[in-house]
Each structure stands twice: as C-alpha cells, then as structure tokens.
Amino acid sequence: MDENTEVRNAAFFESKTVDLETQVKSLSFDNAELVKSNEELRARVKSLATRQPQWPNGYRPTRKYANNGSS
C-alpha cells in the first residue's frame, strides 16, 4: 500500500506540473501581446506629446481675466 501511495503522489505532482507548464505558456503569450501593444502605444504617446498643438481654423483663444474691480 505504501508503494501505491508513492505512485499516486508522483502522478499527482506530474499532473500538477503539466497544468502549471500549460498555464505558464499561456501567460507568456499574453505577456508578449501586452508588451507589443505597450510599445506601440508608447511610440504613439511620445509622438503626440512632442508635436506642436494645432488650433482649428478660425479659432481664437481668449483669456478670461478675473474681475477684480479695476477696469
């Protein structure tokens, strides 16, 4: 009976190992996809952050001064 228990334990841990290896493969694939999309978004944010702002044609920004009683 002791030998049977050892075989069961070995099979149990073998099964756990296979399950965990499958999970690691799946997570590494997901991680690779996220890394790729992160790099693409980082490049896009960098290009948008460094460009000069463009106002639409005909738009004139006006400053709004606080009315402190003097004109």
Tell me whether residue 36 is in a domain. Answer: yes
Q: What pLDDT score does 58 carry?
A: 83
Domain count, the chain: 1
Q: What pLDDT score does 62 carry?
A: 81
Tell me whether residue 6 is in a domain. Answer: no
pTM above 0.85, yes or no: no
Tell me whether residue 70 is in a domain. Answer: no
Tell me whether residue 62 is in a domain. Answer: no
Tell me whether residue 30 is in a domain. Answer: yes
Positive/negative CA dihedral, 35, 39, 42, 44:
negative
Q: What pLDDT score does 40 carry?
A: 97
Q: Residues of the chain with pLDDT > 90: what percent?
A: 62
Tell me whether residue 56 is in a domain. Answer: no
Q: What is the 3-state secondary structure (H, E, C) of 6-68?
A: HHHHHHHHHHHHHHHHHHHHHHHHHHHHHHHHHHHHHHHHHHHHHCCCCCCCCCCCCCCCCCC
- Domain of 43? 23-49
Q: Is residue 59's pLDDT more than 90?
A: no
Tell me whether residue 63 is in a domain. Answer: no
**Predicted confidence (pLDDT) per residue in 16-41, tens digit:** 999 999 999 999 999 999 999 999 99
Tell me whether residue 39 is in a domain. Answer: yes
